[in-house]
Amino acid sequence: MEKTKILFVSQEITPYLPETEMSKIGRYLPQGIQELGKEIRAFMPRYGLVNERRNQLHEVIRLSGMNIIIDDTDHSLIIKVASIQSARMQVYFIDNEDYFHRKNMFADNEDDFFKDNDERAIFFSRGVLETVKKLRWSPDIIHCHGWITSLIPLYIKKAYHDDPLFQDSKVVYSVYDDDFKTNLDANFRKKLKFDNINSEDTKIVTDASFLNLSKLAINNADAIIKGSPNIDKSLDEYINNLKKPVLDYKSEEEYVNSYSEFYDKLI
């Protein structure tokens, strides 16, 4: 019997970024799931504050070299990889000079939200899925962590739904308290138009707020996990009214086994 395959797409993973609730889950959940006998792949953005030399990142030439078109502009996709030896796992990094070489994650030193964060989310999500296609690796579960991954459920359900690699993939979206206050670019919906994605599919992000972006992900995901103990109240209510599987917040001691059992019920 083949091992269950879990694709983890994370906004943050420690030790590449400082320890936070999300970065620790990004680091220890894949390891725990792998130790339970499942096969894993893990992806994150290659932000400029990731120290390549210290963490021994290197480019994977055979996976790099694609271009992703956003708003009629080509952006080169570079794939890098690093190993966490103690966990016996690799982390793939989505890189691009235009989007990910600045020394901050989502805002500048004056705490001003980057104007191209919408395009960075589009590039990252599509970059992950195109790389997985190049790997010819068909995930049973795609587990997304953080708002920068919030477009993956939409892409899987609409743009990639006929792709044999993703046809049977179930998407899990973890909701965290990673709120941002500044709306994404006013042309976000136009930039989202892609194969089989029409204006009706993106209507909810006409006002591209954190709340509406989260709802877009939730609506297209197959299942939801409450990743933080205190998520936005209106989002919590929205999730509680869903007619799809929902897993409540689990503590550090219990989430690996709980998530693994949750995955098994979705397959």
Q: What is the CATH number of the domain that holds 113?
A: 3.40.50.2000
Whether 57 and 48 have beta carbons less than 8 Å apart is answered as no
Using the predicted structure, report yes or no on whether residue 111 has a pLDDT greater than 80: yes
pTM passes above 0.85? yes
Q: Domain of 207?
A: 5-266
| Helices 255-266 and 21-35, packing angle to 10 deg | 60
Would you say the C-alpha torsion 172, 175, 124, 57 has a positive or negative sign?
A: negative
Using alpha carbons, select from 71, 96, 95, 72 the residue that is nearest to residue 82: 95
183-217 tens-digit pLDDT: 999 999 999 988 889 889 999 999 999 999 999 99
Coil, helix or strand at residue 84:
strand
- According to the model, what pLDDT value does residue 1 have? 67
**Averaged pLDDT score across all residues of the chain:** 96
What's the CA gap between 135 and 7, in Å, rounded? 12
Whether 96 and 76 have beta carbons less than 8 Å apart is answered as yes
20: tokens are 């936070």
Element (H, E) at 117: helix 117-135
Burial of 102 from C-beta contacts in 10 A (0-12 / 13-18 / 19+): middle
25-49 tens-digit pLDDT: 999 999 999 999 999 999 999 999 9
- Percentage of the chain lying above the pLDDT 90 cut: 94
58: tokens are 């290197």
163: tokens are 């792709």
Using alpha carbons, select from 65, 117, 66, 128 the residue that is nearest to residue 91: 128
**Based on the structure, what is the number of domains in the chain?**
1
Using alpha carbons, select from 27, 16, 24 the residue that is nearest to residue 8: 27
